[in-house]
Amino acid sequence: MTSLHNPKIQREIRQIFLDFYAARGHQVLPSASLVPEDPTVLLTIAGMLPFKPIFLGQRQAEFPRATTSQKCIRTNDIENVGRTARHHTFFEMLGNFSFGDYFKEKAIAWAWELSTEVYQLPPERLVVSVFEEDDEAFAIWRDQIGIPPRRIIRMGAKDNFWESGPTGPCGPCSEIYYDFHPEQGDDHIDLEDDSRFIEFYNLVFMQYNQDAEGKLTPLKAKNIDTGMGLERMAQILQQVPNNYETDLIFPIIKTAAQLAGITYAEADEKTKVSLKVIGDHVRAVVHMIADEIHASNVGRGYILRRLIRRVVRHGRLIGIEGEFIAQVAETAIALAEPVYPHVRQRADQIKAELEREEYRFQKTLERGVKLLEKVIERAQQEKTNLISGHDAFVLYDTYGFPLELTQEIAEEQGLTVDAKGFAAEGPDQMDEL
Ligand code: SER
C-alpha cells in the first residue's frame, strides 16, 4: 500500500494506468483542454468527450485504441462537495478507449487485471455491477473472470446506462466497486451505500447514438469508453477516509488551514467542510484559468466566477482575513506542475485573475452577508423559514450578492429562498445564474 504522503503517488497512479494500456496497444494521448470542442457542453465532463466525433463516426480515428488521463469538471453536484467523501468539481479521469476495435471481453479482462494484479486490490474486496439487461457482461464476469454471482449486481438504466448528455453516444456500462467493509458479507449488497462502497472504474460499452426523442440507433462500430477516477483510486490506495485527504488535494487544504491558523485534524466538521471546498475548488479554478477560461457573468466564465466566490467565502468562514487565494493557488499550481507544465507557465496570469476576482468579491461579500443576516434574523423572528424573492432580489440587484450564495447561506440556517419570487422580480437576471 502506498502511504498518504508519498509525493509520487499521483504520478504513479496515472503512469501505471497509461503504461498498462500502452503495453496493450493503446496510443497514449495528452489530456485535452477543459474547454471542449463540443459545443453542447460548457466544460470537459468526461474522458470520452474529446473522442465523441469518433464514436459518432463523424471523424476517423487515428488509432484504434487510445488511453488518457483527462482533466474534467462537473458542477452538477456542487453542493455535495466537501460534504460527502468523494464529490468533486475538478477531477481526473483515467481512460482506455476502443474505436471499433476490442469490446466487452477485453475491456472487462483488462480492467480486472489492472485493478487486481497491478494496483493489487484484493479481488475479494471488489464488487461489480452490470446493466440489468446485459446478460453478456454478467456472463463474462462470472465465467471468464470468476466473480461469484452474488457479487455481480444488476442495476437499472439510472446507474448502468451511460450517456454523455441528452443526445449522443451511449451504452450499457459495468462498474467496479471497492468494498471498505467486506466483513458485512454478500447477503445485502447495496452499492448505493457509500459508507461501504466506492465505484472507481466505469466500463461503458458504447454502442448507440441517442437522438433528441430518446431513440437509440446502433452505432456503426462498437466502442469502449472507460473512466477510472484518479482521486478515488488514490483514496483506496492511500487508505484515507475521503478523496480530499489524498496527496492530490490535501496539501492545498493544509495551506488554507495554515493561513487560517488552524489544523485540519483538530478542526470541527463545519470547518473541515470549508477546507475541503477550498481544496477542491482551488484545483478547479487553477486549471480553468490555465486553460484560458476567464471569470465573467456567462457560461463557463460564470462557473469560474462562482467557484472563486465560494473559495473566498469559505476562507472567511474559517477565519482567514484579507486576501489569500493566490497563496493557496500556489500549492495547487505546484501539485499540477509535474503533469501539467503549462499550469506553472501561466502561474502569474492565474494568480492575477484570482486576486482580481477576490478583491472585487470581498466587498460584495462583507456587505451582503451583513444584510442577509438581518433578513434571516427577521425571518426567524417572524417564524417563517422562507426568504422572500424580493429580499433575495434586492441583495442581488442592489448589492451584487449572488442568488446561489443567498440560498447557500439561508440553507445553512434551515431556511429556503423563494426562487420563483426572485425570478418574478427580474426574469432577465436568471439567465446569468
Ligand atoms: N464516460 C464514462 C464516465 O464518465 C466512462 O468514462 O463515467
Where exactly are the structural domains of the chain?
2-238, 249-432
Query: What is residue 11's predicted lDDT score, i.e. its pLDDT?
Result: 57
Name the H helices within 31-84: 52-55
Distance 354 CA to ligand 1 centre (A): 31
Residues 369-392, mean pLDDT to the nearest whole number = 93
Query: What is residue 27's predicted lDDT score, i.e. its pLDDT?
Result: 98
pTM of the model: 0.89
At the fourth CATH level, the homologous superfamily of domain 2-238 is Bira Bifunctional Protein; Domain 2 (3.30.930.10)
Residue 97, phi then psi, degrees to nearest 5? -130, 140
Query: What is residue 80's predicted lDDT score, i.e. its pLDDT?
Result: 87
Distance 233 CA to ligand 1 centre (A): 15
* Nearest residue to 256 (alpha-carbon basis) of 281, 292, 228: 281
Measure the CA angle with vertex 359, ends 358 and 364; round to 5°.
90
**What Rg value do the Cα atoms of the chain yield, rounded?**
23
Nearest CA to ligand 1 atom 4: 46
Mutate to test the pocket of ligand 1, among 17, 91, 161, 225 (most ligand atoms within 8 A of CB): 225
Given a contact cutoff of 8 angstroms between Cβ atoms, the answer to whether 31 and 68 are in contact is yes
Q: Distances from the Cα of 316 to the Cαs of 46, 132, 326, in angstroms?
A: 32, 47, 15
Confidence of residue 432 (pLDDT cuts 50, 70, 90): very low
Confidence of residue 77 (pLDDT cuts 50, 70, 90): confident
C-alpha to C-alpha distance for 136 and 132, rounded to whole angstroms: 11
Q: Distances from the Cα of 243 to the Cαs of 75, 141, 248, 277, 369, in angstroms?
A: 17, 28, 8, 12, 30
* Nearest residue to 85 (alpha-carbon basis) of 279, 230, 244, 202: 244
Instruction: Give per-residue burial for 339-377: e unless 16+ CB within 10 Å, then b.
Output: bbeebeebbeebbebbeebbebbbebbeebbebbeebbe
pLDDT of residue 206 exceeding 50, the answer is yes
pLDDT of residue 273 exceeding 90, the answer is yes
**Span 125-168, pLDDT tens digits:** 999 999 999 999 999 999 999 999 999 999 999 999 999 888 99
Query: What is residue 10's predicted lDDT score, i.e. its pLDDT?
Result: 53
**Span 289-338, pLDDT tens digits:** 999 999 998 999 999 999 999 999 999 999 999 999 999 999 999 999 99
What residues flank ligand 1, with Cβ below 6 Å?
46-48, 95, 162, 202, 204, 225-227
Residues 6+ apart with CB under 8 A from 24: 65, 110
Give 278's Cβ-side CA count (13 Å radius).
34
Ligand 1 atom closest to the CA of 95, numbered from 1 = 6
pLDDT of residue 191 exceeding 90, the answer is yes
Q: 18-22, 297-301, 360-364: lowest mean pLDDT where?
A: 360-364
Residues 6+ apart with CB under 8 A from 108: 137, 140, 141, 144, 145, 174, 203
Residues 197-218, mean pLDDT to the nearest whole number = 95
Confidence of residue 431 (pLDDT cuts 50, 70, 90): very low
Given a contact cutoff of 8 angstroms between Cβ atoms, the answer to whether 302 and 429 are in contact is no
Give 312's Cβ-side CA count (13 Å radius).
23
* Displacement of CA 290 from its chain's centroid (Å): 18
What mean pLDDT value characterizes the chain?
93
Confidence of residue 8 (pLDDT cuts 50, 70, 90): very low
Instruction: Give per-residue burial for 405-433: e unless 16+ CB within 10 Å, then b.
Output: bbbebbeeeebebbbebbbebeeeeeeee
6 vs 336: which has the higher pLDDT? 336
Ligand 1 atom closest to the CA of 93, numbered from 1 = 6
Distance 346 CA to ligand 1 centre (A): 29
Confidence of residue 3 (pLDDT cuts 50, 70, 90): very low
Q: Distances from the Cα of 79 to the Cαs of 75, 274, 400, 404, in angstroms?
A: 9, 12, 21, 10
Query: What is residue 402's predicted lDDT score, i.e. its pLDDT?
Result: 87
C-alpha to C-alpha distance for 172 and 159, rounded to whole angstroms: 9
Ligand 1 atom closest to the CA of 203, numbered from 1 = 5
Residues 50-58, mean pLDDT to the nearest whole number = 94
Distance 361 CA to ligand 1 centre (A): 35
